[in-house]
Amino acid sequence: MIQKLIFFLAICCLFLGSCSPQNLFKSKGIATVPDSLFTHYSTSFEHKIRVDDKLTISIWNHDDLSVGSTFGIYNSNEVYGKWVLVDKSGNTIVPAFGKMHVAGLTAGQLADSIAGMFARQIVNPIVTVKILNRQVTV
């Protein structure tokens, strides 16, 4: 019986004696991250128009040429289907001009291009293009 008690106390002393505080998450110095990790990423990302994107094209004071006006008080374009879809070949319909290749352009580039086309008919056209279904895929 005494041998079992001595054995038990020896095991307890062994386990309790081996417990020491472990500083697993405490660093000895200040950790620095090299700046080269962040230089590869651009902070000025612009979404490029892709296949199956929904677009609204608004020309200021010309609702007949617009597809979903973004200049109104209530913007319900996506709910009521006031948008154009980019087809599988990257084209969409621009009012008064017909089919136009838009895939790969940013919304700003497309707005500038459409403003250039309407500049023959409208003095200083104000064109806004918005992408309604921006989605991030990883």
The pLDDT tens digits of the residues spanning 35-84 come to 666 666 666 778 899 998 988 888 888 777 777 655 554 455 555 557 88
Per-residue pLDDT, 73: 47
Instruction: State how far the alpha carbon of 31 is from the alpha carbons of 23, 26, 27, 34, 36, in Å.
Output: 16, 11, 8, 10, 15
CA distance between the termini of the chain = 66
Domains of the chain, by residue range, sit at 54-131
Of 30, 45, 34, 16, whose CA–CA distance to 107 is shortest?
45
Q: Does domain 54-131 have CATH number 3.40.50.11540?
A: no
Q: What's the pLDDT score for residue 113?
A: 93
Average pLDDT, the chain: 78
d(CA 137, CA 103): 17
pTM above 0.75, yes or no: no
Contacts for 68 with CB less than 8 Å, ≥ 6 apart = 56, 57, 58, 77, 82, 83
Separation CA 53–CA 55 (nearest Å): 6
* 91-106: average pLDDT: 90
Percentage of residues in the chain with pLDDT exceeding 70?
Answer: 67
